[in-house]
Amino acid sequence: MTPIFIVNAFGLMLLAILIALILNGVERKVVARMQSRIGPPILQPIIDIKKLLMKENIVPETAVKWVFNTMPFVAISTALVFFLYVPFAGQNALLKNQGDLILVLYLLVIPPLALAIGGFASGSNFASIGAQRELVLMLSYEFVLATIVFSLSWLYSVTTPNMPVFSVDLEARPSPWLIVGPFGTVGILLLLITSLAVMPAKAGKLPHDMSEAKTEIADGALAEYSGLNLALLYITQALRTFGFATFIVFLFFPCNIEQFFGFDPFFLPIFNFFFFLAKVFAVMFCSVFIVSAVTARFRIDQASAFYIFTIFTISLFGLLLLILDFFIGGQLYALFG
């Protein structure tokens, strides 16, 4: 790795943390306004992190100390590495030739898994319950996420032969809406709906925050964390939300602003950056802000059934429509003009 790459990677990670924390503050403010509250200032997450870094890092006597202290670092490092493998702000990923969507899926799994392991290692009953819920929820929505990625990758493999399957190359990835007919459009819409449904669980937000559930299990897997460890996990949670929103934007809305408007090449990266943030905000507003403001918490059995039966079925139906669009659509369109 060259020094330039290391500087770019470090700068990208810092930028991802800053954006994730600011978006977390925006979420808290917007949700508060929706519920007729004033809400905290937008920079409150940064203030909270600063305060946590000044506090003592307490480790329970019953904890498996090395596991308990290691998991926050595993969670945040994986959440940050994720941004090196997906296109960011209209630019190709720094490591686009070193991994694909399968690797990205693994990177999305590790932070919640690390949180659960840390909860088990704490020796707390509250944390163990939260960790169990986190694992059950993760197993429930991962089937949906795998179906979404497989469906879109299959679509590109049959419509864009020169594009490697599971590629994360932004320049080689056309908008999926432009390469399908009516059946395929409905199929992609269903896949988008299912991805938005996965977003609250992936981010640990209402109605799927039962792994924390402050009023029931006192923050769950986070119950025994404090100081630096808790700060790292809070940052990781913000990165999970921002990261998965970025992933949805890449899958369904990979286009840049120059495809719609003409800009001076010198200013194009700036406009692409803000266009990217607008898309991420739109995804978060629809799947997190509104949902968190108007819904109550699910029970873990309700959340699991919701993903395994309802959302998974919708994603399979979306895949079926993509297949129908490819194999039958052409003949039907020719028949009916």
Helices (H), the chain: 3-34, 44-53, 65-85, 101-121, 125-159, 182-203, 214-217, 227-252, 268-284, 290-294, 300-305, 312-327, 329-336
Q: What length is written for the chain?
A: 337
In the structure, what pLDDT confidence band is assigned to residue 337 with cuts at 50, 70 and 90? very low
In total, how many domains does the chain have? Answer: 1
d(CA 96, CA 85): 6
How many C-beta neighbours within 10 Å does residue 326 have? 19
pLDDT (0 to 100) of residue 335: 44
pLDDT (0 to 100) of residue 130: 86
The partner residues of 88 in beta bridges, in order of sequence, read 91
Q: Provide mean pLDDT across the span 24-49.
A: 92
pLDDT per residue as tens digits for the range 285-294? 999 889 888 8
Amino acid present at 74: V
On the question of pLDDT at 299 being above 70, the answer is: yes
Average pLDDT over the chain reads 88
On the question of pLDDT at 333 being above 70, the answer is: no
Domain encompassing residue 291: 3-336
d(CA 41, CA 11): 25
In the structure, what pLDDT confidence band is assigned to residue 336 with cuts at 50, 70 and 90? very low
pLDDT (0 to 100) of residue 1: 67
| More confident of the two residues 30 and 267 | 30
Query: CB–CB of 131/115 below 8 Å?
Result: yes
How many C-beta neighbours within 10 Å does residue 2 have? 7
pLDDT (0 to 100) of residue 278: 94
Query: CB–CB of 200/140 below 8 Å?
Result: no
How many C-beta neighbours within 10 Å does residue 289 have? 20
Tokens (6 digits) for 270: 């700036």
pLDDT (0 to 100) of residue 190: 97
In angstroms and rounded to an integer, the radius of gyration of the C-alpha atoms of the chain is 21
Tokens (6 digits) for 168: 């994360």
The partner residues of 91 in beta bridges, in order of sequence, read 88
pLDDT per residue as tens digits for the range 53-111? 998 888 888 888 999 999 999 999 999 999 999 998 888 888 888 878 999 999 999 99
**Candidate from 112-121, 137-146, 200-209 with smallest mean pLDDT:** 200-209
How many C-beta neighbours within 10 Å does residue 81 have? 16
d(CA 17, CA 79): 10
Query: CB–CB of 227/58 below 8 Å?
Result: yes
Conformation bin of residue 204: beta by default, left when phi > 0, alpha when psi is -120 to 50: left
Closest CA to 239 of 49, 27, 53, 18: 18
| More confident of the two residues 25 and 271 | 25
